């Protein structure tokens, strides 16, 4: 799994946030568009793209794209 590819998949879930906003350090919960629905979408994207089912607790504890990436990476 590559970080750039992960960021691309992550950014695609957002309708109103420009893709260039996203870096490993992006605190996605601070984004205006962030919502519980997007949390669901992130979990579904990770399952669909990487066949990894992260738990709700893991989703809740991740605050940056890097932290989320690391969570997924430990299952691969």
Query: Between 39 and 66, whose beta carbon lies closer to other proteins?
Result: 39
Minimum Å distance from CB 47 to other proteins?
Answer: 7
Give the 3-state secondary structure of the chain. Answer: CCHHHHHHHHHCCCCCCCHHHCCCCCEHHHCCCCCHHHHHHHHHHHHHHHCCCCCHHHHHHCCEHHHHHHHHHCCC
CB of 73 to other proteins, least distance (A): 20
Binding residues for other proteins restricted to 2-61, rule: CB under 8 A = 36-37, 39-41, 43-45, 47-48, 56, 59-60
């Amino acid at each position: 799994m590559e970080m750039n590819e992960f960021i691309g998949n992550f950014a695609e879930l957002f309708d109103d946030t420009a893709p260039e906003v996203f870096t490993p350090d992006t605190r996605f919960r601070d984004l205006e568009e962030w919502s519980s629905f997007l949390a669901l979408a992130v979990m579904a994207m990770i399952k669909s793209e990487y066949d990894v089912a992260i738990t709700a607790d893991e989703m809740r504890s991740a605050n940056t794209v890097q932290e989320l990436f690391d969570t997924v990476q430990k299952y691969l």
